[in-house]
Chains A and B, each alone.
Chain A
Amino acid sequence: MAISSAKKKPMKVKENLGYKIFLVVNYLIMLFIVIVTLYPFLYLVSQSFTSEQAIIRGESGIIPKGFNIDTYKYVLKGEFLSYYKNTIIYTVIGTVLSLVTSAMLAYPMAKSELKFNRFLTPFIIFTMYFGGTLISNYILVVGLGLKNTVPAFILPMMISTYYVILMKSFFQSIPKDLEEAGEIDGLSKFGVFIRIALPLSKPIIATMTLFYSVMYWNNWYNAFLYLSKKQWPVAYYLQTIIRGVGAKEGDGDATSVSANIKSCAMVLTVLPIICVYPVIQKYYVQGMMLGGVKE
């Protein structure tokens, strides 16, 4: 007994040492990843505060040279703001439409007693694996007469099948007793949905609000295909200044817009997202988990 414990002890110390070394190495790896992830953002921020002259001299770094806020004053005075306003409008309208229609689909899909689901579920899921090509989607939107209208920006991406599946999984996790109690209290099916299921679904609604609003906020592609200049969201305007004025799509870059202006516009566009996403992290991690758990 005494021998065996004496034998065991040195082994344990060895393992602890190995483990401690691992913890230190792991810490350093994580630190490295954090720095590599944040560096590009800090670099943009730094450039946006760098003076025009320093940019022309090619002096750039993580600390702004000739610190000033002139770039911000310049950008916020120009057309940037009107595109920013478009983005806000599209994001709000689009997110509301997306949330409502997705919930309208996901809630009935979550009800196993609904016989029609046997056909509905494959009908919806199939679109995740096969669909229209780039061209047939374009032809459809143009064919519907939506070109140069705001719905052309919103409708093609309004319902995301993947997000509907996440919502459905959440609705399925709501205890049946609660909904049945609501019916006994005289609520209709619709009443149960509005008065009982939705109030219990704050985590998934928060998650979907974030996901959908980020989707609309970031989209440039639909704007590029369908919208006229006045209707552009900021993401597409940004793309045009990154590319450079006068350059055609896919031509590579013209350098007519200086790096501090580009950086400033990028910082302003990304700022709302950076402020919002950590706040509801708890919810979307949970939401993603639900979708990943096998039924």
Chain B
Amino acid sequence: MSVNLQQKNTANKKSSFTKHIGKYWQLYLLLIIPIIYYVVFRYLPMFGNIIAFRKYHAGGSIFGDRFVGVKYFKQFVGDKTFWRAFKNTLTLNIGYLLFRFPLTLIFALLINEIRNIHWKKFVQTVSYLPHFISIVIMCGMIKELVSTSGPINNLIASLGGQKISFISEAKWFSTIFISSGVWQSIGWGTILYLAAMSNINPSLYEAAAVDGAGHFRRVWHVTIPSILPTITTLLILDIGGLVGSGGAFEKVYLLYNPMIYETADIVSTYVFRMGIGGGNFSYATAVGLFEGLINLVLLTIANFASKKLTDSGLW
């Protein structure tokens, strides 16, 4: 009896499964190529990280030849250049976040206050422009602007100052990195805030006005709380990226030179020089993997904290 029932159950399950496939097979068919793509170009490299624990030789298996344990991890823990790169990554990322995050929010609040619709749209359009510019052109521009014959140095000279070779002085790198980053991202960063603001129910403002709240109090008590979930989500993403240097790789790589490695070399550029430049693939992968894992942990913690505090998170 019970056996019978079980058989019937599996039979039912099976028929509902075939029915499901029968109904949706065309959608499943669509998924085949993208899934193969993700397996090959996203998951294979993820498992390819295994060479951090295995000896690899150029042209050999992408998963390495033989297991060597944590040899490469031990190596970089004692590597001063690694720690310098790690420190620079953190300094640049934290500095960038500290400037970019509040400035973007303030910029969004200010755009939201513009009354003339054409002016508002113009400001937005212009502010999106740097987002679309190639990092190559971005860095080319930076070099032109800060070069010893460029406009910034001309301004310094006309004010009676000494010209500065910004690009070859280590102490200027973080300033260049952060200010150009803010320049490029501030406009684009406002989109999600402005979207959240446009979703605020106008009756909230009216109610606050009836209660006697002036214009700026309404911003403080209605606008800011309404966009708080957006602020949190964006902040989590940013905190999750604090240790990561992948996004900054191209910019640093195009701007730095051996004279300023001291402040400019970040983990990903170091990984690049060691691995693709120097052929120490396993060692470089160990460093990159270490960074990726810390990143993942940070993101998880930030997400957890955000869920506890505001009930909203990334997952």
Task: Known contacts A15-B214, A107-B30; decide if A131 and B133 are in contact (CB<8 Å).
Answer: no
> In the assembled complex, which residues on chain A have CB atoms less than 8 Å from the CB atom of B256?
250
Query: Are B139's CB and A252's CB within 8 A?
Result: no
Of the candidates A33, A143, A217, which one forms a contact with B107 in the assembled complex, judged by CB atoms under 8 Å apart? A33
Query: Are A127's CB and B37's CB within 8 A?
Result: no
Query: Are B119's CB and A30's CB within 8 A?
Result: yes
* A70 adjacent to chain B (CB < 8 Å): no
Query: Are B271's CB and A135's CB within 8 A?
Result: yes
CA distance A118 to B138 in the complex (A): 41
**Stretch of B3-11, B45-53, B84-92, B170-178 lying at the A interface:** B45-53
Residue of A nearest to B16 (CB): A115
Task: Known contacts A15-B215, A131-B42; decide if A104 and B296 are in contact (CB<8 Å).
Answer: no
Query: Are A136's CB and B126's CB within 8 A?
Result: no
Chain B min CB distance to A112 (Å): 12
Which chain A residues in 225-280 approach chain B with CB under 8 Å? Answer: 225, 235-236, 238-239, 242, 249-253, 259, 262-263, 266, 269-270, 273-274, 277-278
Of the candidates B129, B145, B296, which one forms a contact with A37 in the assembled complex, judged by CB atoms under 8 Å apart? B129
Residue of B nearest to A59 (CB): B149
CA distance A131 to B114 in the complex (A): 42
Query: Are B183's CB and A104's CB within 8 A?
Result: no
Which chain B residues in 137-156 approach chain A with CB under 8 Å? Answer: 137, 139-141, 143-145, 147, 149-151, 154
Task: Known contacts A33-B123, A273-B132; decide if A132 and B281 are in contact (CB<8 Å).
Answer: no
Query: Are A101's CB and B229's CB within 8 A?
Result: no
Task: Known contacts A37-B130, A43-B145, A220-B135; decide if A132 and B37 are in contact (CB<8 Å).
Answer: no
What does the 1/0 interface line of B175-212 toward A look like (CB < 8 Å)? 00000000100110001100110010000000000000
Residue of B nearest to A55 (CB): B149
Query: Are A270's CB and B292's CB within 8 A?
Result: no
CA distance A132 to B259 in the complex (A): 30
Which chain A residues in 132-186 approach chain B with CB under 8 Å? Answer: 132-140, 143-144, 155-156, 158-159
CA distance A29 to B122 in the complex (A): 14
Residue of A nearest to B153 (CB): A58
* B27 adjacent to chain A (CB < 8 Å): yes
Chain B min CB distance to A293 (Å): 7
> In the assembled complex, which residues on chain B have CB atoms less than 8 Å from the CB atom of A132?
42, 44-46, 48-49
* B228 adjacent to chain A (CB < 8 Å): no
Task: State how many residues of chain A have any CB contact under 8 Å with chain B.
Answer: 95
Task: Known contacts A129-B299, A242-B136, A242-B143; decide if A134 and B127 are in contact (CB<8 Å).
Answer: no
Query: Are A250's CB and B253's CB within 8 A?
Result: yes
Binding site for A on B (CB under 8 A): 20, 23-24, 26-31, 33-35, 37-38, 40-46, 48-49, 51, 56, 62, 107, 110-111, 113-115, 119, 122-130, 132-137, 139-141, 143-145, 147, 149-151, 154, 167-168, 183, 186-187, 191-192, 195-196, 199, 214-216, 229-230, 233, 240, 246, 249-250, 253-254, 256-259, 268, 271-273, 275-276, 281, 284-285, 288-289, 292, 295-296, 299, 312, 315
Interface CB pairs A-B, < 8 A, 6: A43-B144, A108-B28, A120-B35, A134-B276, A136-B45, A159-B34
List 16 additional contacts besides A38-B126, A127-B38, A136-B45; criterion CB under 8 Å. Answer: A22-B113, A38-B129, A43-B141, A47-B144, A61-B154, A132-B42, A132-B44, A133-B49, A134-B246, A135-B276, A135-B284, A218-B134, A218-B137, A262-B144, A266-B141, A269-B134
Binding site for B on A (CB under 8 A): 15, 18-19, 22-23, 26-27, 29-30, 33-34, 36-38, 40-41, 43-44, 47, 58, 60-62, 101-102, 104-105, 107-108, 111, 113-116, 120, 123-125, 127, 129-140, 143-144, 155-156, 158-159, 188-190, 193, 214, 217-221, 225, 235-236, 238-239, 242, 249-253, 259, 262-263, 266, 269-270, 273-274, 277-278, 281, 285, 288-289, 292-294
